[in-house]
Amino acid sequence: MHIEDRVRAICLGFPEVMEKTTHGAPGFFVRKQFAMLWPLGHHDNQFPHVWCAAEPGVQEALIATSSTRYFRPPYVGHRGWVGIHLDGDVQWDEVAELLEDAYRHVAPARLVTILDDQTKRG
């Protein structure tokens, strides 16, 4: 499965997510945007990657663990978003977990409850 297909499957698996092209790339929204995919790279980061919303402190903690896997993305990095490399040995379970965290960060409580119910049944 291609990178774009994998990220799309993860993101569209969350309740009421919409995909729309923004800035020439796939963006994923649940009322507000929670993820942005750059399958061919973007500006100085010419490798496939995804940006996702994160709770305060998460970006710094992830970059501290691996600056080759995580980075501070332009435009949204100052808001705590984290960039994730999608080249090389991608840990897809980890990517899915971070995208779910991003969804939970911006989704209304009602939708987080629905996701929790789906996860329990899962």
* The residue to which tokens 């942005």 are assigned: 36
| Token couple for 119 | 């996860």
What is d(CA 10, CA 15) in angstroms, rounded to the nearest whole number?
A: 11
pLDDT band at 82 (very low <50, low <70, confident <90, very high): very high
pTM of the model: 0.93
Any idea which residue has 């409850």 for tokens? 113
CA triplet 74, 75, 79: central angle to 5 degrees?
105
Task: For 86-120, write each residue's pLDDT tens digit.
Answer: 998 999 999 999 999 999 999 999 999 999 998 88
Q: Determine contact, residues 60/20, Cβ cutoff 8 Å.
A: no
CATH numbers and ranges of domains, the chain? 1-71+79-87 (3.90.1150.30)
DSSP reduced 3-state for 32? strand
